[in-house]
Amino acid sequence: MSVIQTQADFCHVNKHADVCHLNTQADVCHLNTQADVCHLNTQADVCHVNKHADVNTKADVCHLNTQAYVCHLNTEVDVCHLNTHTDVCHPNTQANFCHLNTQADVCQLNTEVDVCHLNTHADVNTKADVCHPNIQADFCHLNTQADVCQLNTEVDVCHLNTQV
């Protein structure tokens, strides 16, 4: 399945019926893992990470309900980083986007032309999983174990879309 995307594109990763949408500019990022939902919106951002049960309030509130629970309030131009387990959250500038890292992954700040990295399994430029910075027209890399922008699990599908 191939999808032609532009700046409003998104990357779908379906992992056990979960869906991840990553959109640039006024974007929305949904990271769903086993009935969990993460929404990352730029400008008056709202970030939800629902690992079991989460509630978001107001414009910029980040709820991270995991073992190491962390809740960050974001300013109007910030986008939140939601990391599960060993979590690190960085504020982003207006043109930056989000890193959603699970387990031991570290969230990095994106530059103006960067989009987002979605890494699972403690992947931060390791041997197995490589995290690539993306330019404005590029989108996300979803890496699991030895995969680069490709999820080779049961019903997973990864789209890496560039400006066409």
**Ranges of each domain in the chain:** 7-164
Q: Write down the pLDDT at residue 43.
A: 27
Q: Write down the pLDDT at residue 9.
A: 32
pTM of the model as a whole: 0.14
Burial class of residue 8 in the structure, from the number of CB atoms within 10 Å of its CB (0-12 exposed, 13-18 middle, 19+ buried): exposed
Q: Write down the pLDDT at residue 49.
A: 35
pLDDT in tens, 40-84: 333 223 333 333 233 333 222 333 333 222 333 333 223 333 333
Q: For strand 82-83 and strand 100-101, is the pairing parallel, antiparallel, or unpaired?
A: parallel
Cβ burial 38-67 (10 Å sphere, 16+ → b, else e): bbbbbeebbbbbbbeebebeeebbbbbbbe
Q: Write down the pLDDT at residue 66.
A: 32
pLDDT less than 70: residues of the chain: 1-164
Distance from C-alpha of 46 to C-alpha of 73, rounded to nearest angstrom: 9
Distance from C-alpha of 51 to C-alpha of 143, rounded to nearest angstrom: 20
Q: Write down the pLDDT at residue 65.
A: 30
Handedness of CA 7, 138, 133, 87 (dihedral sign): positive
Distance from C-alpha of 145 to C-alpha of 126, rounded to nearest angstrom: 9
Q: For strand 28-31 and strand 38-41, is the pairing parallel, antiparallel, or unpaired?
A: antiparallel
Distance from C-alpha of 83 to C-alpha of 67, rounded to nearest angstrom: 11
